[in-house]
Amino acid sequence: MALRNIAIIAHVDHGKTTLVDELLKQSGVYRENERVQERAMDSGDIEKERGITILAKATSVEWKGTRINIVDTPGHADFGGEVERILSMVDGAIVLVDAAEGPMPQTKFVVGKALKVGLRPIVAVNKIDRADARPDEVINEVFDLFAALDATDEQLDFPILYGSGRDGWMAEGHEKPDDASLAPLFDLIVKHVPEPTVADGPFRMIGTILEANPFLGRIITGRIHSGSLKPNQAVKVLSADGRQIESGRVSKILAFRGLERQPVDEAHAGDIVAIAGLSKGTVADTFCDPSVSEPLEAQPIDPPTVTMSFMVNDSPLAGTEGDKVTSRVIRDRLLREAEGNVALRIEESDAKDSFNVSGRGELQLAVLIETMRREGFELAVSRPRVVMHRDEDGNLLEPVEEVVIDVDEEHSGVVVQKMSERKAEMAELRPSGGNRVRLVFYAPTRGLIGYQSELLTDTKGTAIMNRLFHEYQPYKGEITGRVQGVLLSNQAGEAVAYAMFNLEDRGPMIIEPGAKVYQGMIIGIHTRDNDLEVNVLKGKQLTNIRSAGKDEAVKLTPPVRMTLDRALSWIQDDELVEVTPKNIRLRKLYLDPNERKRFEKQRAAG
């Protein structure tokens, strides 16, 4: 059977996973009466809740005698490590672009990687039915983007389709035809994407996706570069530098058939398969015949730009809500995560029971923390810090990101002001239709930590911000952080509504009445710039003397909700987020007030 391997790449929320749903439906993967799950490729709970793809996943469809392996990739820059690996598995790519928004920063990032590998993309303009669609301008922007990324003449001569992934149609024109379907897209994939290039020689394959299966153990997915593979065949694993990691036998070969993976008796060069039976081989390793001595070249992965400290939870409430609390289980879990996610880097810290976890951005690390707390882990995490470098002359360099903000014209002034306070330089300002403007900045990553929620507040929730790592530049100097102090509990117990009511003048609370608190825990946001210790346990003094006015029920202002993402970006360097399966609490690094004063003196002196 003829074979095609293709990836669907696009900016976040431009409709990749929805399009894959329709490709599966129209290729006959489902039975006529089968109940179909929406966004079938987003299998994880967090993916469904956030509406984003986090892990790259493969599926397969048949079309007129050709098997098409499709890889759905994440659209968020924080998960770019997934995309970089996947591109080595495919021979073509569908670049999906929103008909109104046009190519966005993540489109630029992924397309740049695809063009570098030599893929000739198909451009599909999605959401053509939007009221503010501007397909012709978008195609011009895509062409300019390809040209700016040094595309070859063959790559610039890309085929174009227009349509709506949600409604399940694509066509060569803007109008929806009477016999609307995705057939033009299927036909174009078969015609435009080349067959997999197959090398001569024995079995070789680079691992690109790693997962753990309770029955089969470690499963590695990749594309077979050369030769063929059968169950029980002897293979060995080579690292990128040519060292032999292990040797063993393949217990099972799984091929993608629709959403299912089915065991096969033989897999040939060019096909994308998953293999089980090896215990140490991981992503970017070469799985090969015992006679092979040279590993295949793996795609280089961009370095991490943000790091956080993951620590054992040592608060007075430690161990009361989670069952995985020791440094050993946290370390094992982090190392297991780093095996399958090449964009993560785990290092043991100098501090006791602490690990430095580096990744592409706050979202990637927040998703890891959220996954761990759902698995029953308790831990404390620090504020994200950027990864600095030094050049040959010893000058300090910091990561700078390209930031694209789409916002209503009336709010553009406050956005420009806040970004300039964060040492950002404006590169472009242009109208983007419907009384909105598109602002492009180059801003240090340090200044962007915690800005997302502030941006939404400043623009009444109308702004859309997209970020992408640009380059390392000389250090930009100090950036003022949070201007407000915090309200701290001065003792342990349960918060009382009466005490919280009397403290409302001091600032908004972030806890509910009845919440368990301890000394040094953050319970509210101070209206001034200093930290204040308060008693949140003080109940009303009851006497037998009646007051003139009858007692009224205490009416509390609803607390400020601190989600995990917001808490990570809001805290300061001397504060931690305590994460448990049931709660997210904020606290000072040093709970004892005397230790805090000593730390402040040392910091001021040093």
How would DSSP label each residue in 486-510?
EEEESS-EE--HHHHHHTGGG--BS
The C-alpha atoms of residue 151 and residue 114 are separated, in whole angstroms, by 10
- pLDDT (0 to 100) of residue 380: 93
Is 241 annotated to bind a ligand? Reply is no
62 exposure class (CB count in 10 Å sphere: 0-12, 13-18, 19+): middle
Contact 459, 437 (CB under 8 A): no
pLDDT higher than threshold 90 for residue 576? yes
The share of the chain scoring above pLDDT 70, in percent, equals 89
More confident residue, 378 or 79: 378
Is 14 annotated to bind a ligand? Reply is yes
pLDDT higher than threshold 50 for residue 199? yes
| CATH class label, 389-474 | alpha beta
Q: Which residues of 322-335 are buried (b: 16+ CB within 10 A; e: fewer)?
A: bebbebebbbebbe
| Residue indicated by tokens 């050709």 | 66
Measured CA distances, 605 to 13, 350, 354, 480, 602 (Å)? 48, 22, 25, 20, 5
Is 127 annotated to bind a ligand? Reply is yes
Is 597 annotated to bind a ligand? Reply is no
Which residues are CB-neighbours of 320 under 8 A, at least 6 positions away?
A: 580
Contact 513, 497 (CB under 8 A): yes
Q: What number is the average pLDDT over the span 133-156?
A: 89
Lowest mean pLDDT among 161-170, 264-273, 332-341: 332-341
pLDDT higher than threshold 50 for residue 181? yes
- pLDDT (0 to 100) of residue 46: 57
Lowest mean pLDDT among 31-45, 60-74, 98-112, 442-456: 31-45
How remote is the C-alpha of 585 from its chain's centroid?
23
204-288 architecture in CATH? Beta Barrel (2.40)
Q: Which CATH superfamily is domain 486-605 in?
A: bipa protein (2.40.50.250)
pLDDT higher than threshold 90 for residue 587? yes
Q: What number is the average pLDDT over the span 328-342?
A: 84
Report DSSP letters for 89-138, one per residue. Answer: T-SEEEEEEETTT-S-HHHHHHHHHHHHHT--PEEEEE-TTSTT--HHHH
pLDDT higher than threshold 70 for residue 305? yes
| Residue indicated by tokens 């929805």 | 18
Q: Indicate the domain borders of the chain.
A: 2-192, 204-288, 389-474, 486-605
Q: Which pLDDT band holds residue 29 (cuts at 50, 70, 90)?
A: low
Q: What number is the average pLDDT over the span 16-28?
A: 77
Q: What number is the average pLDDT over the span 533-555?
A: 71
Q: Which pLDDT band holds residue 42 (cuts at 50, 70, 90)?
A: very low
Q: What number is the average pLDDT over the span 466-477?
A: 84
pLDDT higher than threshold 60 for residue 206? yes
pTM: 0.77
pLDDT higher than threshold 50 for residue 32? no
Lowest mean pLDDT among 208-212, 395-399, 428-432, 476-480: 208-212
Q: What angle do CA 584, 587, 588 make, to 5 degrees?
A: 155
372 is written with which tokens? Answer: 């761990």
* Sequence letter at residue 11: H
Q: What number is the average pLDDT over the span 213-228?
A: 84
* Sequence letter at residue 45: D
Read off the pLDDT of residues 1-20 as tens digits, 9 standing for 90 and up. 788 888 888 776 667 777 87
Is 129 annotated to bind a ligand? Reply is yes
Is 201 annotated to bind a ligand? Reply is no
The mean predicted confidence, pLDDT, of the chain is 83
- pLDDT (0 to 100) of residue 19: 81
- pLDDT (0 to 100) of residue 38: 45
Q: What number is the average pLDDT over the span 258-264?
A: 80
Is 16 annotated to bind a ligand? Reply is yes
pLDDT higher than threshold 80 for residue 251? yes
Is 543 annotated to bind a ligand? Reply is no
Q: Which CATH superfamily is domain 2-192 in?
A: P-loop containing nucleotide triphosphate hydrolases (3.40.50.300)
The C-alpha atoms of residue 334 and residue 368 are separated, in whole angstroms, by 9
